[in-house]
Structure 1
Amino acid sequence: MFDKLDEIVEKYEILSQKISDPEIINNQSEWQKMMKEYSDMRPLVEKYKEYKKTKEAIEEANMLLEDNLEEDFKQLVKEELSGNKQKILKLQEELKILLLPKDPNDEKNVIVEIRGGAGGDEAALFAGDLFRMYSRYAERRRWKVEIMSSNETGVGGFKEVVFMIQGSGAYSRLKYESGVHRVQRIPVTESGGRIHTSTVTVAVLPEAEDVDVEINNNDLRIDVFRSSGNGGQSVNTTDSAVRITHLPTGLVVTCQDEKSQLKNKEKALKVLRAKLYEIEEAKRQKELAEARKSQVGTGNRNERIRTYNFPQGRVTDHRIGLTLHKLDSILDGEIDEIIDNLITVDQTEKLKNSV
């Protein structure tokens, strides 16, 4: 591990010189690429420097203890030595995690699809609750939310809603949200006070750029039609809604939230590109050895990942056995505790598999 770390530090120092070279600065694309690599390496290099500094402090303390010291001073050195020994073990674990291969999609924006499953209107209402939860979470992290397409119900929920979250590291945090979310509560329309169980599916897709997915225009069938539902004065008066069918895969994407046909087409293409990228990613993941797969980050949208129980005010993530009795704050976007626990378990699994 330490030979690899020394190589990374050496590369980091070379990059540090290169990004200050006027010739490279003039080549903006090359300079930005190097700056990205330099920034990505910085946390690991700084952690390794901290490790080496702590190791030197341990060596110095051991040398001091070999001398004839006064008892009070000797005790202070021993206490400092004990603290640094604990610290260096923690730093070793942190370095192992930082050395794990990075998910190339982690820094990307995401496209989130929420669809009501079993439960009719109640499922649609909970789809609206989840949309608000992720919107509030994005707001807390100063990320931008943009609705790509939506299909509202008359009771205030969504049959489906597709939206983009733009922000640094959005995918690294939200990728664990893909799957089936189950809600247990008494619907407003339920006169007998019985608890109903409904489900909502969530899919989190990394935004795909042109360089990630090449789409041949000849593979697309684009249909335009009149919008329906909310959308201002132009609804039902102009053919602004767009449906794009990707002929080779049969994927269909519809967007009608914008008044402009061009904007709807742009949004629909973004969603299509993300879906095609997800298909390619799924193929790539399948080709990896089972031993290298994480138990947490599979993102299988058929897997029941979480239950929101309203009568008990609890949320349970079934993948890691985590139960929190703070339903209201979680639905208000305070989901970092869940995500942090998922990341920790994911990293632990990857560390086991990397040995």
Structure 2
Amino acid sequence: MFQKLDDVVKKHEELNQLLMTEEVISNPTKLMEYNKALASINEIVEKYKEYQEIKGEYETLKEDLKSEKEHELKEMMLEEISELEEKIPHLEEELKILLLPKDPNDEKNVIVEIRAAAGGDEAALFAADVFRMYTRYAERSKYKVEIIDKNETGINGLKEITFLIKGNGAYSRLKYESGVHRVQRVPDTESSGRIHTSTITVAVLPELEDIAQVEINQSDLKIDTYRSSGAGGQHVNTTDSAVRITHKPTGIVVTSQDGRSQLKNKEAAMKVLASKLYEMELEAQRSSVESERKSQVGMGDRSEKIRTYNFPQGRITDHRIKLTLHKLETYLDGDLDEMIDALIAYNQAELLKNVGDEI
């Protein structure tokens, strides 16, 4: 581990020197590239320096203790040594986590798809609740939300909705949300008070800044235009501005109708298509490496039941990490950080098991 950390410090010094050269200063592309590389390792270098200072202080105190004669001073030194002995393992654990391989998509925006599944109108109403939950979380996190496409029901529900969440690190926080979300509650239309179980599916994709990252043959696309419509099929406008793109080799269909023009909707739909194809490739790579697959907490598997929202008991349970929170009301209002932090910590622990020997 310490050899790796020394290598990171060396790289940090080299990047700082390169950033002061005329060649880099006069080249905006290189300047941006090196600054980004520097920013990606700043936290590791700072934490390693903190570790070295504390470890140095610890070694000095142990050495001084050998020659100290005064009882009171020895007691104080022993107390400080004890405190540092507690700190050092925690810092070493933090350094191990910082050295874990980074997901290259973590800093990206995310495309989220929510679809009502089993449960009819109740599933559509829950889909609308979960969409609101993510928009409230985005507001709390200073992210922005842009709707790409939505299909509403006549009872304020959502059959499906696709939207973009824009913000630094959005994917790193929301990537664990992919899967089946289950709700248990008494629907407003249920006169007998019987609890119904309904499900929705959530898919979270990293947004590709450049769709050229994915090879898409135009001859593989079937592009249709149609009139945008709202709930109940009422026409929103009188032009064929909505766009539907079918990728014939995979059968993937994407639509966009919330943009102001056909061009904007086509751009948005192509971005969703590229992100889906990119995710398919990532999933194929993950599946081919068993150890990496074990380190995931259900990311990308849309058939996996990941979470239950139980209204009668006011609780949310994540089945992957066996965590239950009794704060359903605030959770649905976007207070997701406790659950997300727990999922990240679990995933890091699993990764450490797999790469611990290498580190």
Query: Do Structure 1 and Structure 2 share a fold, with TM-score over 0.5?
Result: yes
Q: Structure 2 matches for 1:59-138, cutoff 5 A?
A: 59-138=59-138
Displacement of 1:58 in angstroms is: 0.6
- Asked if 1 retains the 8 angstrom alpha-carbon contact of 2:133 and 2:333, the reply is yes
What is the TM-score normalised by the length of structure 1?
0.96
**1:226 match:** 227
1:48 partner amino acid: Y
- Asked if 2 retains the 8 angstrom alpha-carbon contact of 1:146 and 1:165, the reply is yes
**2:53 match:** 53
In 2, the alpha carbon distance for the partners of 1:295 and 1:230 equals 38
| Pair 303,115 (structure 1): closer, same or farther in 2 beyond 3 Å | same
**2:10 match:** 10
- Asked if 2 retains the 8 angstrom alpha-carbon contact of 1:224 and 1:242, the reply is yes
In 1, the alpha carbon distance for the partners of 2:114 and 2:313 equals 24
**1:210 match:** 211
**1:311 match:** 312
* 3-state SS in 1 of match to 2:151: strand
- Asked if 2 retains the 8 angstrom alpha-carbon contact of 1:246 and 1:252, the reply is yes
- 1:168 counterpart = 2:168: yes
Aligned-residue identity in percent:
62
Displacement of 1:289 in angstroms is: 3.1
- Asked if 2 retains the 8 angstrom alpha-carbon contact of 1:175 and 1:297, the reply is no
| Pair 241,287 (structure 1): closer, same or farther in 2 beyond 3 Å | same
- Asked if 2 retains the 8 angstrom alpha-carbon contact of 1:113 and 1:162, the reply is yes
Q: Does 190-199 or 233-242 show the bigger shift? A: 233-242
**1:326 match:** 327
* 3-state SS in 2 of match to 1:222: strand
- 1:41 counterpart = 2:41: yes
Q: Does 234-243 or 191-200 show the bigger shift? A: 234-243
* 3-state SS in 2 of match to 1:66: helix
Q: For residues 72-93 of structure 1, what are the alpha-carbon distances to aligned partners after superposition, in whole Å with 9 as ceiling and x for unaligned?
A: 2211111111111111100110
* 3-state SS in 2 of match to 1:139: helix
In 1, the alpha carbon distance for the partners of 2:244 and 2:15 equals 47
Displacement of 1:222 in angstroms is: 1.1
In 1, the alpha carbon distance for the partners of 2:114 and 2:136 equals 15
- 1:239 counterpart = 2:245: no
**1:264 match:** 265
1:9 partner amino acid: V
How many residue pairs align between the two structures?
A: 354
| Pair 39,291 (structure 1): closer, same or farther in 2 beyond 3 Å | closer
Q: For residues 167-213 of structure 1, what are the alpha-carbon distances to aligned partners after superposition, in whole Å with 9 as ceiling and x for unaligned?
A: 11111110000000000000000000000000010000011222421
* 3-state SS in 1 of match to 2:213: coil
In 1, the alpha carbon distance for the partners of 2:127 and 2:140 equals 20
1:289 partner amino acid: E
**1:155 match:** 155
| Pair 211,38 (structure 1): closer, same or farther in 2 beyond 3 Å | farther
- Asked if 2 retains the 8 angstrom alpha-carbon contact of 1:177 and 1:204, the reply is yes
In 1, the alpha carbon distance for the partners of 2:164 and 2:92 equals 37
* 3-state SS in 1 of match to 2:204: strand
* 3-state SS in 2 of match to 1:83: helix
In 2, the alpha carbon distance for the partners of 1:44 and 1:137 equals 28
| Pair 87,292 (structure 1): closer, same or farther in 2 beyond 3 Å | farther
In 2, the alpha carbon distance for the partners of 1:149 and 1:42 equals 39
**1:180 match:** 180
In 2, the alpha carbon distance for the partners of 1:284 and 1:256 equals 32
2:188 partner amino acid: V
Displacement of 1:227 in angstroms is: 1.7
- 1:336 counterpart = 2:345: no
**2:255 match:** 254
Displacement of 1:30 in angstroms is: 1.3
Q: Does 132-141 or 69-78 show the bigger shift? A: 69-78
1:66 partner amino acid: K
What is the TM-score normalised by the length of structure 2?
0.95
Structure 2's unaligned 5+ residue stretches are none
- Asked if 2 retains the 8 angstrom alpha-carbon contact of 1:124 and 1:157, the reply is yes
- Asked if 2 retains the 8 angstrom alpha-carbon contact of 1:234 and 1:259, the reply is no
In 1, the alpha carbon distance for the partners of 2:68 and 2:147 equals 71
In 1, the alpha carbon distance for the partners of 2:122 and 2:167 equals 31
Q: Does 243-252 or 339-348 show the bigger shift? A: 243-252
In 2, the alpha carbon distance for the partners of 1:50 and 1:199 equals 47
**1:23 match:** 23
- Asked if 2 retains the 8 angstrom alpha-carbon contact of 1:124 and 1:159, the reply is yes
* 3-state SS in 1 of match to 2:67: coil
Displacement of 1:216 in angstroms is: 2.3
In 2, the alpha carbon distance for the partners of 1:221 and 1:82 equals 69
| Pair 316,292 (structure 1): closer, same or farther in 2 beyond 3 Å | closer
- Asked if 2 retains the 8 angstrom alpha-carbon contact of 1:181 and 1:306, the reply is yes
